[in-house]
Structure 1
Amino acid sequence: MATSIFFSRRRIAALSLLALAGVGWAQPALPPGPITMIVGWPAGGPSDNVARLIATHMAEALGQSIVIDNKGGAGGNIGTDATARARADGSTIMLATVASHGLNSALYDKLNHDPIKDFAPIGMITTSPSVMLVPMGSPYRSVRELIEAARAQPGKLNYGSGGVGSSQHLAGANFKKLAGVDVAHIPYKGTAPAMTDLMAGRVDFVLTTGAMSFIRSGKLRPLAVASRERLPALPDVPTFDEAGVKGFYTDSWYGLVAPAGTPRSALEKLNAALAAALNKPAVRQQFIDQGSLPVTPMKVDEFWAFVQKQMPLAAEQVRISGAKAE
């Protein structure tokens, strides 16, 4: 009888341990409540538009709300710094870009974060080539006309950007070099105010993504796209190759990252929600309509391999352009 009681007690203890372990296994991959998506650019710009579109559909897949937190400034570095310091439990994610995880490492002498060590990958969203835009009242109806005017009066024409170190800044610097023109750079605190001044005619041109609404509404005129092929959304707009500026290509990619140390289970769940959103035909079409190129969803490790591979390429673009954060 004593032996039987002993084994019964031991069995109960073992079952209790298994039950406690089961509680741990059953814990959700993501903490309950809303998820914060940090965007290192002001509301209304192309990065913000991408973030809001994907957040809406990821939230549906997750069954949790995703709140956009715009932290603009310093070429996206303010938002990137905030993400690196955030709680690493899946409750905070960030819209990563070619600036935050590529250009800024070469543009800035010192960063308060490491773009690889301080972050964990979630996945790729989309990629977009830049479009050269001028006001509707601009006298320039082609890239050739703009270049001719810039060469006739060096330093008079200008271009706007979302800030020092932004993808628009780098695109403008590369255009200057490849076209052999002297145009002034006017940095703004985000793309949205730069676009406002462009439409008002206070800026001669901007090279940016996500401006299809301005084009369709007749507020801005596209002159060329920085891609190897014409965009489906702008079939009548030539590439820069066709316009006479050979080899001018930009690749403004967007993805999602989390603070380093975020559990793998959380990253995988967020990646699955992102893939579910990207696989929706309506979402793919919306990206096409925005002037983006939809991508095949990437796994967590596949996306991180892409980020690490493109970083030295982005740094080389910065070196060739001669751009440097002021």
Structure 2
Amino acid sequence: MPSALPWIRALGASLLTLALAPSFAASSGAAYPTRPIKMVVAAPTGGLPDVIARIVAQHMTTSLGQAVVVENKPSAGGIIATESVAKAAPDGYTVLLLDLSPLTINPTLYKKLPYDAVNGFAPVRLLGIAPLFLVTNPNVPAKTFQELVAMVKAAPGKHTYGTIGVGSLHHIAFEEMKAATGMDMLHVPFREQPSGPVVAGQVDMILAGLPSIEGFVKGNRLNMIAVSTSKRAPQTPALPTIAESGLPGYDVSADIGVIAPKGTPPEVISTLSNALADALKQPDTLARFNELGILAADMPAEAYAAHIRKEMQRFAKSVTAAGLAGSN
């Protein structure tokens, strides 16, 4: 796969060059920022990325001495928000907070994108990892992942799973699960997070972040089966991972971070990165992250660039294996 995807290998010459560039912000006494910073969010108001953006923006406003203003630009695949930041002036006054799907899934999923996922951005910092929880309608008899796999394989094509849309992280996560287990299920895409539909029995199961399902789980309207990350979530320590439940190596999460347009000066990237790191250290940030089921990642630019490159390779294979390459 890597040999067929030169844009993946090119990432080392683009993202990492920016990530490794020396930082002069502290020593030069640069005036940046001198005006408000716009933080574009590729998600609707109230979504997990939006909540994270508002948490860190508040602390960044204090540490930088300028307002950090959150602007939501939701769209399919996060394309509108990502394009707008790619085309913004590389001066540090426009950044993008997103999960990695627009950079890692979209380049293989879409025949053409209005932005360059490899060369159009400079990583700033990875902030948090949001596990996805596999939950089912209470009428589904399976109570463990092993039982769920057996149930689905006993009735090929009968059972359903819902996602926020074709090519979404949740969709690809299910496709990886299906490929590894041999399950045959019907995908039902929705325009919004389908917690309601699975509660209503329109679909059998979903993968979702904790905030959108926690109330339903507490009210016994959804059953938790497993968590998608390689380690158990601290919020649900008794809940096993999918990996330990019969699918070794399975590890999927919504990785949320900040990127800037390509060409943003290294000293500006450093200033932004330091402000984000400071925001992540604040007790109220950590407490809120814990409530939301988010694991603080705090990965600086160089490591974030490497992580993006690795995830690009991984999801290029998964999207292609699912027959979705160039489908949008």
Q: Would you say same fold, with TM above 0.5? A: yes
TM range (shorter): 0.7 to 0.9
Residue matched to 2:300: 299
Residue matched to 2:110: 108
Distance of 1:214 and 1:150 partners within structure 2 = 26
1:235 aligns with 2:237: yes
Aligned-partner SS, 2:105: helix
Residue matched to 2:207: 207
Distance of 1:144 and 1:210 partners within structure 2 = 22
CA distance 1:302–1:246, change in 2 (3 Å): closer
Residue matched to 1:264: 266
What's the offset of the Cα at 1:167?
0.9
Distance of 1:241 and 1:299 partners within structure 2 = 27
* Greater mean alpha carbon deviation, residues 84-93 or residues 140-149: 140-149
Contact 1:45 1:210 in 2 (8 A): no
1:95 aligns with 2:97: yes
Distance of 1:122 and 1:55 partners within structure 2 = 14
CA distance 1:247–1:287, change in 2 (3 Å): same
Residue matched to 1:30: 33
Q: What code does the residue aligned with 1:70 have?
A: N
CA distance 1:199–1:49, change in 2 (3 Å): farther
CA distance 1:199–1:65, change in 2 (3 Å): farther
Aligned-partner SS, 1:150: helix
1:147 to 146, 149, 155: 149
Residue matched to 2:275: 273
What's the offset of the Cα at 1:171?
0.6
Distance of 1:39 and 1:314 partners within structure 2 = 22
What's the offset of the Cα at 1:143?
2.3
Distance of 1:254 and 1:273 partners within structure 2 = 16
Residue matched to 2:182: 180
Contact 1:36 1:67 in 2 (8 A): yes
Q: How do residues 67-78 of structure 1 correspond to structure 2 at under 5 angstroms? A: 67-78=69-80
5+ residue gaps, structure 2, are 1-27
CA distance 1:119–1:309, change in 2 (3 Å): same
Distance of 2:246 and 2:216 partners within structure 1 = 22
What's the offset of the Cα at 1:321?
4.1
Distance of 1:156 and 1:55 partners within structure 2 = 45
TM norm structure 2: 0.80
5+ residue gaps, structure 1, are 1-24
CA RMSD of aligned residues (A): 2.6
What is the aligned length? Answer: 298
Aligned-partner SS, 2:119: coil
TM norm structure 1: 0.80
Deviations 1:200-231 (A, max 9, x none): 33222111334364366435332101223222
Q: How do residues 8-47 of structure 1 correspond to structure 2 at under 5 angstroms? A: 28-33=31-36, 35-47=37-49
